[in-house]
Amino acid sequence: MITTRRLVKQFGRLRAVDGIDLDVRAGDIYGFLGANGSGKTTTVRMLLGLVLPTSGEIELLGSRMPRAGRRVLPRVGALIEGPAHYGHLSGRENLALLDAAGPGGSWRTRRARIGEVLEQVGLAGVGRRPVKAYSLGMRQRLGLAGALLRRPELLVLDEPTNGLDPQGITEVRELLLDLHREGTTVFLSSHLLAEVEQLCSRVGVLDRGRLVLQDELAALTAPTGSTVVHTPTPDRVRAVLDGRVTATDGERVVVRGADPAEVNARLVGAGIAVTALSLERPTLEQVVLAAAGTSTDRVEAPR
């Protein structure tokens, strides 16, 4: 869906994007994670042909960009930082203009299509109010509605939950999951680890213009081979599982071995209370920190 090879964007002395090889496959919900200023927006703009790369190659839906833009972009829905609208017109009228300006999509079905996307983003009730009366979150949703007008195969979204309240964030997440279930590939940039961890199947991490990590979320957070035990008596666990305890933190004990049932049987057999038991997995935050080093402390951690 998206492939880049050694993609570079240089602004004067600053290398905002520094030789990245993106690989976004059909069916992905791809999370493009990076701190503010790491180069996410610049990358998204290059993917969509809004900024020319300094060097490197981009393929979008199998065709070279920006050359194939006219042909390919109608199949891509996009939302870029701060979508622009006409404030004196209603949401519905803004979408009608957007729809009329682009290729494809008959005017006969325009009303129905606009009604449908307004419904999808939860703006059906306010579609007739002027956009200047909209909150930031409502404008963001109107931007999303615009991206959905042509039932795109690929959605490219730059920080889609920016400015939304917690309920708005949940609604956008549900909407993206619905679209994904119906076959849309989603590429979204975010500086929020928790958002990417909850939503995405593949993750790329940008650090000062470099792609330092790109893999399936499930592979990145695969079990480590240890078991985590919660117990009110960690010292007794240490005594019973002689030598297998690799870490303790309060009531949390990490035991070597990826067989929770075996660990449980041994502890319960010794009369030790086990209050919780799970396979140990690294969090995305730990994985990102390990890959990107100290600079990613600017990536917002889950609260």
Ligand X SMILES: Nc1ncnc2c1ncn2[C@@H]1O[C@H](COP(=O)(O)OP(=O)(O)OP(=O)(O)O)[C@@H](O)[C@H]1O
Residues that bind ligand X (CB under 6 A): 11, 14, 16, 34, 36-42, 191
Q: Return the closest-CA partner of residue 139 out of 193, 86, 77.
A: 86
Of the pair 12, 62, the CB lying nearest ligand X is at 12
User: How far, CA to CA in Å, does 255 sit from each of 230, 233, 267, 275?
Assistant: 11, 14, 11, 15
Q: Give least dist CB 39 to ligand X, A.
A: 4
Q: Give least dist CB 45 to ligand X, A.
A: 8
Strands of the 226-230 sheet, one edge to the other: 245-249, 252-256, 226-230, 276-279
With 0-12 / 13-18 / 19 or more C-beta atoms within 10 angstroms meaning exposed / middle / buried, residue 296 is buried
Q: Give least dist CB 189 to ligand X, A.
A: 7
Q: Give least dist CB 23 to ligand X, A.
A: 19
Of the pair 58, 228, the CB lying nearest ligand X is at 58
Of the pair 37, 115, the CB lying nearest ligand X is at 37
Of the pair 35, 186, the CB lying nearest ligand X is at 35
Of the pair 39, 77, the CB lying nearest ligand X is at 39
CB proximity list for 162: less than 8 A, separation 6 or greater: 81, 140
Q: Return the closest-CA partner of residue 209 out of 4, 30, 2, 67.
A: 4
Of the pair 11, 86, the CB lying nearest ligand X is at 11
Q: Give least dist CB 82 to ligand X, A.
A: 10
Q: Give least dist CB 47 to ligand X, A.
A: 12
The answer to whether residues 157 and 76 touch, using CB atoms and an 8 Å cutoff, is no
Q: Which run of H or of E encompasses 252?
A: strand 252-256
Of the pair 41, 185, the CB lying nearest ligand X is at 41
What's the gap between Cα 302 and its chain centre? 14
Q: Give least dist CB 160 to ligand X, A.
A: 12
Q: Return the closest-CA partner of residue 130 out of 86, 164, 168.
A: 86
Token pair of 269 as six digits: 């057999």
